[in-house]
Structure 1
Amino acid sequence: MSRIGKLPIKIPTDVVVTCTDLQISVKGKFGLLHNTLPNCLSVKQDNGILIVNLENESKTNRALHGLYRTLINNMIIGVSEQFTILLNLVGVGYRGVVQGKELILNLGYSHQVIMQIPEGISVQVIKNTTLELKGCNKEELGLFGTKIRSWRPPEPYKGKGILYEGERVIRKAGKSGKK
């Protein structure tokens, strides 16, 4: 049995979890999320606690047990609190602006980078160079943050690029001149 999978999930009072045969839905103040469970798992709910049970033990089923327990836990946390990602734009002239459902980034290219903000994700720009991404679906939020970051990943020589909050870039020495 998976060590993570056997841990119970505490359900907050403002979250409603509905389980049918292979479908689980989680509804809270920030949204509604759905997920489909594999055949080897079942979910039991009683007294504000959710338990994911494993039907038969094989190596892949044990891995799925821990994975789906974590996915369900992330769904519950997302609809009750929301997930947040902070991105820092580091570089001369790097800035971001939100206009409607579009994120406009100036990243040193000859053109502006215009990205559509997905449904369920909110973007707030703080002091032109910090982006705060919020959403209840952790997977979609991380994917959108990675798409933004892929326009200018951090480079090790000058330390410029789009960095996650608290990320450190290990700097390299540049070319040394002839001696």
Structure 2
Amino acid sequence: MSRVGKAPIQLPKGVDIDVSKGNLVTVKGPKGQLQQKIDPDLTLEMNDGVLEIKRPTDQKRHREVHGLFRALINNMVTGVSEGYIREMEIFGVGFRAASNGQWLELSLGYSHPILFRIPQEIKIETRQDKGQNPIIKLECIDKELLGQVCAKIRSLRKPEPYKGKGIRFVGEEIRRKAGKTSGKK
């Protein structure tokens, strides 16, 4: 049995789950509302604020989707109750970030600034203290969307392994390579 799939989901106060026709799960909470269509073979059972997801058989396909949809629903519950925050920092001399509404303007050492449109569901904030690296703070209730946007921003200038210049998550460790050494003999 799937260890992830059989774990129950505790529903915090103020979070409601509704399963409509076609197994469309709607999760409503204080921060917003999310929807996810789940496999029609799976069933959801509510008991005293605890949600359990059951699969009909031990077929390979049912085992595959059991843990997946449990994790997706759990991420939705966490998102509408607490939300998700990701912070990214930019390392490099002259690298800058500024937000203007839903636009993120990045100066990453290319010949031109990069304008990146942030989806409406995500709140963006940039800050740059004197002598510190620029920080991009993204906040959203949808973990999947937040992860996709962070990955796209990071792909604009991935951290390189020699000096570590580029965009990385706060607290992320970059594996560094040794540079050239003098080979005189």
Normalising by the smaller structure, the TM-score range is over 0.9
1:141 aligns with 2:141: no
Residue 102 of structure 2 contacts residue 117 of structure 2 at CA under 8 Å; is this kept in 1? yes
- Amino acid of the structure 2 residue aligned with 1:31: G
Divergent runs of 4+, >3 A: none
Tell me the alpha carbon deviations over residues 70-101 of structure 1, each in whole angstroms, 9 at most, x when there is no partner. Answer: 10000000011001111010000111111111
Q: Which residue of 1 aligns with 2:20?
A: 20
Q: TM-score, normalised by structure 2?
A: 0.93
Q: Which residue of 2 aligns with 1:41?
A: 42
Q: Which runs of 5+ in 1 are unaligned?
A: none
Q: CA deviation at 1:16?
A: 1.3
Q: CA deviation at 1:30?
A: 1.5
* Distance (whole Å) between structure 2 residues aligned to residue 53 and residue 67 of structure 1: 12
Q: Which residue of 2 aligns with 1:88?
A: 89
% identical aligned pairs: 41
Q: Which runs of 5+ in 2 are unaligned?
A: none
* Distance (whole Å) between structure 2 residues aligned to residue 109 and residue 31 of structure 1: 38
1:56 aligns with 2:61: no
Q: CA deviation at 1:117?
A: 0.8
Residue 40 of structure 1 contacts residue 56 of structure 1 at CA under 8 Å; is this kept in 2? no
* Distance (whole Å) between structure 1 residues aligned to residue 158 and residue 9 of structure 2: 36
Q: TM-score, normalised by structure 1?
A: 0.96
* Distance (whole Å) between structure 2 residues aligned to residue 108 and residue 148 of structure 1: 15
Q: Which residue of 2 aligns with 1:116?
A: 117
- Amino acid of the structure 2 residue aligned with 1:71: L
Q: CA deviation at 1:18?
A: 0.6
The Cα RMSD (Å) is 1.2
SS in 2 for 1:86: strand
Residue 6 of structure 2 contacts residue 52 of structure 2 at CA under 8 Å; is this kept in 1? yes
* Distance (whole Å) between structure 2 residues aligned to residue 66 and residue 45 of structure 1: 17
* Distance (whole Å) between structure 1 residues aligned to residue 62 and residue 94 of structure 2: 50
* Distance (whole Å) between structure 2 residues aligned to residue 177 and residue 56 of structure 1: 64
* Distance (whole Å) between structure 1 residues aligned to residue 54 and residue 176 of structure 2: 47
1:71 aligns with 2:72: yes
Residue 5 of structure 1 contacts residue 66 of structure 1 at CA under 8 Å; is this kept in 2? yes
